[in-house]
Amino acid sequence: MFFILITGLLLGGTYALIAMGLNLQYGVARIMNLANGEMLVAGGFAAFWVYTAGQVSPIAALLVVAPVAFVVNWAIYRIMLRPLVKRAKSRGALEVDSILATFGLSFALVGIMTWFFGGGYFNYSYLTGRVDIFASSYAQNRVVAFTIASLLAAALWIWLSYTRAGLRMRAVAVSPDSARLVGIDVPAVSALAFGLGGAVTASGGALISMFFTLDASVGVLFTMKALIIVIMGGVGDIRGTIVAAMILGIAETFVARVIDPGLTLAAAYVLFLGVLLFRPQGLFGRTPT
Amino acid sequence: MTMRDIRNLILSAFAFGLLALLPLYVSGYILSIATTMAMFTVLATSWALFSGPTHYISLATAAFFGLGTFVTGLGFQTLPMWLLPIIAAGLGAVLAALVGLVTLRLSGVYFVIFTLGLAELVRQVVTWVQNRTGQRGMYVLTSITERDIYWQLLGMAALVFLVGWLIARSRLGFALRIIGNDETVAKHSGIDTAAAKILLFMVSGAAAAVVGAMMAPRYIYIEPSTAFASILSFQVVIMALLGGTGRLWGPLAGVVPFTLLWEFISRNAPNQTLLLLGIAFLLIVYVLPGGFVGLYDRLRHRYGQGGQ
């Protein structure tokens, strides 16, 4: 039981990082990015590639993966998504457009990645030793991934809470129209948030590739999980995201260990159902007035 | 009923009559493409019945379709063949009602996300049940030929068009158009928005399940990973949006070219089908909002025949 709890928490830490990336994109830039999982897989591919080709550690690869992902996502927002934001007459119209456009992007990315890397699974062995925590042993790479994910998430939280740039971002998340009135450049902040979200997600992908077997088309599963976490935690709520990710990590590990490893998505759906039925505003969200 | 309606009805009946003669003249490869087109016509048209007016993008087609194939797979030996599509329709409507009850009271994003994973969820649960009961895939060996499937699907297409036409003229269709334009206005004019949406989603889900039940004999061997392949949902969305959801015949205008294109790409470059799907999505958003129907309306408007 205790073993499941710890394993779940270790998994949840990485999920939290991925979902924080999506939350930045949806909460601040108002883009429901369904290509989020493909960014993750791309980050994982990059880590895999530098590790097998040059024996560079996936952690060092983060120093390259994150900036590149930031630039790519920033450009995607400016070139692809900004025109949709401009043309949208309402929030609903933007949602439909951005869902379709990012679906297109997601399929195109899967197609391109299959082209380059083939359709097979890929993984590599890195830090395969064991770590003992409370008399049970856990895979070293999972513990390391969790630690780095926690550090990155904490850094992001502190940056959002205590800096002026973070304040601007939170202001846009609350209300883009009012943010404009107090002199915030909303398009620039949105693009920044979208880029940052992509960088965070890709970093999560590089970390997850240390212990998880990926393939070119697995992205949508992670998109799904990240979406469920974001909705469960509440859009734009970092604390909620972290708690929800931990809950999902534990629930998934529990189902995989006790019932059947093939039912992990079902576990996520049970949580999703509960949220939709009882707390559609998220765990810590207040009912909108 | 105006003269125009009567004329359209007669023309449509005539067109269906002609299409029904097709298997007498062609067979083999061409008939199989025609069957695929008939299948996608039913799926895309029934998808557009719900998603067209409401703008709620449903990605659950594969879940309903898979459900239908399993109804046939499990029941074809014990139950009469004509009963299977009816059972499939009932189960499809129940599943749609459950999904609708959970998500359609809330905003559209929840609905999209929920339907996105639905096929995969049902697949995982079915696989799990099969593993527990020690059952693997199943063979559907019947005397039903490609021709029969084509005729069944054609009949179903006629039914869906008729239902769509009737709904558009009914109070329900009117209510859905108001919901699509402005949900707040709809609520304030006394429309039970959730009930209207759920009802139509049930129609759409039942139709997809029926198609699954009819198509099952074509696959011969059924297993969860092929029956619930989520790519089907995306193909249906693309075809419907490419054609345009503004008119009843819109999805048909997308089904024909896209099926041919898909067939061509999957024969010549089978690894690039996903890239094609992605590019098609992007084209629809950036170049062809409103699909071919939207383009047709714009052209008509420009050349001065739009004012009727």
Residue B71 CB: number of other CB atoms within 10 A? Answer: 26
Task: Write the ipTM.
Answer: 0.85
Q: How far is it, in rounded angstroms, from Cα B262 to Cα B287?
A: 20
Judging contacts by C-beta atoms under 8 Å, the chain B residues touching residue A115 are 271-272, 275
Q: What is the pLDDT of residue B305?
A: 59
Checking phi first, is residue A183 left (phi over 0); if not, alpha (psi -120 to 50) or beta?
A: left
Each residue of B100-127: pLDDT tens digit? 998 887 777 888 888 988 988 898 888 8
Contact assessment for residue B120 and residue A265, using Cβ atoms and an 8 Å cutoff: yes
CB proximity list for A99: less than 8 A, separation 6 or greater: A32, A34, B57, B109, B112
With an 8 Å Cβ cutoff, is B234 touching chain A?
A: yes
Higher pLDDT, B210 or B246: B210
With an 8 Å Cβ cutoff, is B272 touching chain A?
A: yes
Cβ-defined contact of B234 to A100 (cutoff 8 Å):
no
Contact assessment for residue B84 and residue B75, using Cβ atoms and an 8 Å cutoff: yes
Q: How many percent of chain B have pLDDT more than 90? A: 34
Q: How far is it, in rounded angstroms, from Cα A87 to Cα A230?
A: 26
Judging contacts by C-beta atoms under 8 Å, the chain B residues touching residue A34 are 116
With an 8 Å Cβ cutoff, is B241 touching chain A?
A: yes
Torsion angle (degrees, nearest 10) of CA B248, B252, B253, B254 = 120
| Sign of the torsion angle spanned by Cα atoms B73, B79, B82, B84 | negative
Each residue of A264-288: pLDDT tens digit? 888 888 888 888 888 887 777 665 4
DSSP state of B222: E
In B, minimum Cα distance to A259 occurs at B128
Q: What is the pLDDT of residue A287?
A: 54
Each residue of A168-213: pLDDT tens digit? 988 888 888 888 888 889 899 999 999 999 999 999 999 998 888 8
Q: How many residues does chain B have?
A: 308
Cβ-defined contact of A277 to B113 (cutoff 8 Å):
no
Q: What is the pLDDT of residue A106?
A: 92
Contact assessment for residue A49 and residue A116, using Cβ atoms and an 8 Å cutoff: no
Q: How far is it, in rounded angstroms, from Cα A28 to Cα A196?
A: 11
Strands A136-139 and B138-139: unpaired
Those of residues 57-116 in B touching chain A at CB distance below 8 A are 57, 102-103, 106, 108-110, 112-114, 116
Distance (Å) from the alpha carbon of A175 to chain B's nearest alpha carbon: 19
Q: How many percent of chain A have pLDDT more than 90? A: 31
In B, minimum Cα distance to A90 occurs at B182
Residue B87 has pLDDT above 60, yes or no: yes
Q: How far is it, in rounded angstroms, from Cα A121 to Cα B213?
A: 33
Cβ-defined contact of A111 to B280 (cutoff 8 Å):
no
Q: What is the 3-state secondary structure (H, E, C) of B142-201?
A: CCCCHHHHHHHHHHHHHHHHHHHHHHHHCHHHHHHHHHHHCHHHHHHCCCCHHHHHHHHH
Residue A186 amino acid letter: V
Task: Please give the average per-residue pLDDT across A78-104, as a whole number.
Answer: 87
Q: What is the pLDDT of residue B307?
A: 47
Residue A252 has pLDDT above 50, yes or no: yes
Q: What is the pLDDT of residue A136?
A: 72
Judging contacts by C-beta atoms under 8 Å, the chain A residues touching residue B122 are none
Query: What tokens appear for B263 in the block?
Result: 């067939």
Q: What is the pLDDT of residue B20?
A: 83
Task: Find residue A136's DSSP bridge partners.
Answer: A133
Q: What is the 3-state secondary structure (H, E, C) of chain A?
A: CHHHHHHHHHHHHHHHHHHHHHHHHHHCCCCCCCCHHHHHHHHHHHHHHHHHHHCCCHHHHHHHHHHHHHHHHHHHHHHHHHHHHHHCCCHHHHHHHHHHHHHHHHHHHHHHHHHHHCCCCECCCCCCCEEEECCEEEEHHHHHHHHHHHHHHHHHHHHHHHCHHHHHHHHHHHCHHHHHHCCCCHHHHHHHHHHHHHHHHHHHHHHHCCCCCECCCCHHHHHHHHHHHHHHHCCCCHHHHHHHHHHHHHHHHHHHHHHCHHHHHHHHHHHHHHHHHHCCCCCCCCCCC
Cβ-defined contact of B281 to A221 (cutoff 8 Å):
no
Q: How far is it, in rounded angstroms, from Cα A238 to Cα A230?
A: 9
Each residue of B207-230: pLDDT tens digit? 999 999 999 888 888 888 888 888
Q: What is the pLDDT of residue A286?
A: 61
With an 8 Å Cβ cutoff, is B279 touching chain A?
A: yes
Distance (Å) from the alpha carbon of A133 to chain B's nearest alpha carbon: 33
Nearest by CB to A276, from B106, B278, B286: name it.
Answer: B106
Q: What is the pLDDT of residue A68?
A: 94
Distance (Å) from the alpha carbon of B166 to chain A's nearest alpha carbon: 27
Cβ-defined contact of A104 to B278 (cutoff 8 Å):
yes
Residue A289 has pLDDT above 60, yes or no: no
Contact assessment for residue B53 and residue B176, using Cβ atoms and an 8 Å cutoff: yes
Higher pLDDT, B258 or A1: B258
Residue B308 has pLDDT above 70, yes or no: no
To the nearest whole number, what is the mean pLDDT of chain A? 87
Phi, psi of B192 (to 5 degrees): -80, 90
Distance (Å) from the alpha carbon of B41 to chain A's nearest alpha carbon: 21
Higher pLDDT, B25 or B71: B71
With an 8 Å Cβ cutoff, is B282 touching chain A?
A: yes
Task: Please give the average per-residue pLDDT across B141-168, as a whole number.
Answer: 89
Q: What is the pLDDT of residue A266?
A: 87
The Cα-based distances of A72 to A38, A113, A185 in angstroms read 13, 15, 21
Judging contacts by C-beta atoms under 8 Å, the chain B residues touching residue A100 are 57, 241, 281, 284-285
Q: How many percent of chain A have pLDDT more than 70? A: 96
Report the top-level CATH class of A2-278: mainly alpha
Cβ-defined contact of B275 to A112 (cutoff 8 Å):
yes
Q: What is the pLDDT of residue B208?
A: 95
Query: What tokens appear for B187 in the block?
Result: 């609520």
Distance (Å) from the alpha carbon of B35 to chain A's nearest alpha carbon: 26
Judging contacts by C-beta atoms under 8 Å, the chain B residues touching residue A217 are 274
Entry pTM: 0.89
Higher pLDDT, B268 or A120: B268
Query: What tokens appear for B207 in the block?
Result: 């139709």
Q: Which of A33, A79, A87, A96 to mutate to test the interface with B (most CBs of B within 10 A)?
A: A96
Task: Please give the average per-residue pLDDT across B64-89, as a whole number.
Answer: 90
In B, minimum Cα distance to A231 occurs at B110
Q: Averaging pLDDT over each range in A118-127, B56-65, B185-194, B284-293, which range is the top one? A: B56-65
Domains in chain A: boundaries: 2-278
Judging contacts by C-beta atoms under 8 Å, the chain A residues touching residue B102 are 273, 276-277
Contact assessment for residue A41 and residue A205, using Cβ atoms and an 8 Å cutoff: yes
**In chain B, where does DSSP find H-type helix?**
3-20, 22-25, 28-54, 61-75, 83-103, 108-133, 146-169, 171-181, 183-188, 193-219, 224-227, 231-243, 250-268, 273-286, 291-302
Closest C-alpha among B194, B185, B195, B204 to residue B45? B204
Reduce the DSSP state of residue B36 to 3 states and report it: helix
With an 8 Å Cβ cutoff, is B260 touching chain A?
A: no
Query: What tokens appear for A282 in the block?
Result: 């998220």
Judging contacts by C-beta atoms under 8 Å, the chain B residues touching residue A221 are 120
Using an 8 Å CB-CB cutoff, list residues of chain A that contact chain B.
32, 34, 83-84, 92-93, 95-97, 99-101, 103-112, 114-115, 119, 217, 220-221, 224, 227-228, 231, 260, 262-266, 268-269, 272-273, 276-277, 280
Number of A to B CB contacts under 8 A, please give it.
Answer: 114
Cβ-defined contact of A108 to B279 (cutoff 8 Å):
yes
DSSP state of B270: G
Q: What is the pLDDT of residue B211?
A: 95
- Half-sphere exposure of residue A272, counting CA atoms within 13 Å on the CB side? 28
Task: Please give the average per-residue pLDDT across A115-144, as a whole number.
Answer: 76
